[in-house]
């Protein structure tokens, strides 16, 4: 009973300041929102938890070159080359230098169709589609 | 039947001469030596650009050349060791090395924008030359499949370096 205990610490109405009134109203709204959010959260879970996808960087190429994911999914780029690469679609995402053998992950929060490149090897091109 | 035999004989003669022509190209130990030398020449020039470059873009590119070509060389040396191939000096390696020494000597006498331009111009020409050697001499002559695969696999990085160097060249021309 979290919300009950919050209500329990409320001061008598007569001594409540304007901000406290606004605060308690906010708390009540938050409680309602939290209750409403519960079934929505459950349906999101039913549709599938966020997935993790992998893009391999090997031979100065992104594989797969085009990847489609859902919002909230995570994409991990693994650099298998013996030198650094970047995954850059500024200003949406930019890995900076990913060292040889290292990896970089990005959680896709923004929907869209993003063309990305390696700033070190401009002949490399990839595409991340976020639904 | 007779004409088939004649055709087969003619074919094997042509094939034989093609095999002979290939045998005159670099051997695997020579190819391994050319790969290591080509990388080392660009590492040496890159080290100079890291310190003498007058713009951050040129310094960064020099540093990237050192990192990338060092990475490729570590892989090439590891492969040669695994295959028990001892890199063997040859005229192509010697010419690459001499060109590299000349370039470094020339760059050491330059500074500022003149250094940047000379370094980047040479990087463009050098990567063109190396890609040409990869396509015409190294890949067609490499016998060992792993050696050939390594060269084929690093080729796109050299294309990337060439494009990157051309971008720098265009930017320097605009700034100058």
Residue B130: give the domain boundaries: 26-175
Q: What is the mean pLDDT of chain B?
A: 89
| Residue A58 sits in the same domain as residue A29 | no
C-alpha distance from residue A4 to each of A8, A11, A27, A76, B79 (Å): 6, 14, 11, 43, 69
Handedness of CA B5, B11, B17, B22 (dihedral sign): negative
**A81–chain B Cβ distance below 8 A for any pair:** yes
What whole-number distance in Å separates Cα of residue B100 and Cα of residue B91? 14
| Residue A34 sits in the same domain as residue A98 | no
Calculate mean pLDDT across residues B75-85: 96
For A41-51, the pLDDT digits (tens) are 444 444 578 99
**A56–chain B Cβ distance below 8 A for any pair:** no
Q: What is the ipTM of this complex?
A: 0.83
Candidates B71, B153, B163; nearest CB to A59:
B153
Give chain B's domain count.
1
pLDDT at A93: 97
Residue A31: give the domain boundaries: 2-47
pLDDT of B87 > 90? The answer is yes
Q: Which of A31, A47, A63 is the last residue of a domain?
A: A47
pTM of the model: 0.77
Question: Is B116 exposed, middle or buried, given 0-12, 13-18 or 19+ CB atoms closer than 10 A?
Answer: buried
| Residue A62 sits in the same domain as residue A35 | no
Q: In chain A, which residues have their Cβ closer than 8 Å to the Cβ of B160?
A: 60, 118, 120-124
**A91–chain B Cβ distance below 8 A for any pair:** no
Report the percent of chain B where pLDDT is more than 90: 85
Candidates B71, B163, B167; nearest CB to A83:
B71
| Residue A37 sits in the same domain as residue A66 | no
Shortest distance, CA A121 to any CA of chain B (angstroms)? 4
Q: Show the CA angle centred on residue A78, arms to residues B80 and A121, nearest 5°.
A: 75
Query: Which CATH number characterizes residue A61's domain?
Result: 2.60.40.420
Count CB pairs under 8 A between chains A and B: 49
For A43-98, the pLDDT digits (tens) are 444 457 899 999 999 999 999 999 999 999 999 999 999 999 999 999 999 999 99
Whether residue A120 and residue B160 make contact (CB cut-off 8 A), yes or no, is yes
For B47-74, the pLDDT digits (tens) are 999 999 999 999 999 999 999 999 999 9
Residue B54 CA, chain-centre distance (Å), reads 26
Look at residue B46 and tell me if it is in a domain.
yes
Residue of chain A whose Cα is closest to the Cα of B67 = A83
Give chain A's domain count.
2
Residue of chain B whose Cα is closest to the Cα of A117 = B160
Q: In chain A, which residues have their Cβ closer than 8 Å to the Cβ of B67?
A: 83-84
């Amino acid at each position: 009973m979290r919300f009950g205990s919050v209500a329990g610490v409320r001061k008598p109405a007569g001594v409540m300041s304007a901000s406290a009134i606004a605060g308690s109203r906010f708390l009540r709204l938050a409680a309602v929102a939290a209750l409403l959010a519960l079934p929505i959260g459950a349906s999101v879970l039913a549709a599938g938890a966020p997935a993790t996808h992998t893009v391999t960087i090997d031979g100065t190429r992104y594989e797969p070159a085009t990847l489609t994911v859902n919002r909230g999914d995570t994409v991990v780029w693994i650099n298998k080359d013996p030198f650094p690469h970047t995954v850059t679609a500024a200003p949406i995402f930019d890995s900076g230098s990913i060292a040889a053998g290292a990896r970089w992950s990005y959680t896709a929060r923004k929907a869209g169709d993003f063309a990305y490149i390696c700033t070190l090897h401009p002949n490399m091109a990839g595409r991340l589609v976020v639904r | 039947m007779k004409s088939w035999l004649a055709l087969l004989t003619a074919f094997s003669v042509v094939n034989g001469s093609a095999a002979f022509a290939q045998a005159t190209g670099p051997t695997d130990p020579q190819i391994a030596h050319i790969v290591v030398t080509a990388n080392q020449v660009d590492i040496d020039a890159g080290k100079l650009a890291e310190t003498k470059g007058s713009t951050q873009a040129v310094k960064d590119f020099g540093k990237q050349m050192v990192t990338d070509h060092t990475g490729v060389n570590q892989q090439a040396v590891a492969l040669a060791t695994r295959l028990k191939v001892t890199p063997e000096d040859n005229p192509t390696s010697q010419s690459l090395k001499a060109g590299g020494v000349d370039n470094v000597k020339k760059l050491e006498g330059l500074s500022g924008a003149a250094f940047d331009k000379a370094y980047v111009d040479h990087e463009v020409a050098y990567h063109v030359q190396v890609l040409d050697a990869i396509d015409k001499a190294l890949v067609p002559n490499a016998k060992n499949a792993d050696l050939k695969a390594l060269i084929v696999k690093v080729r796109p990085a050299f294309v990337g370096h060439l494009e990157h160097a051309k971008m720098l060249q265009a930017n320097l021309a605009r700034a100058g």
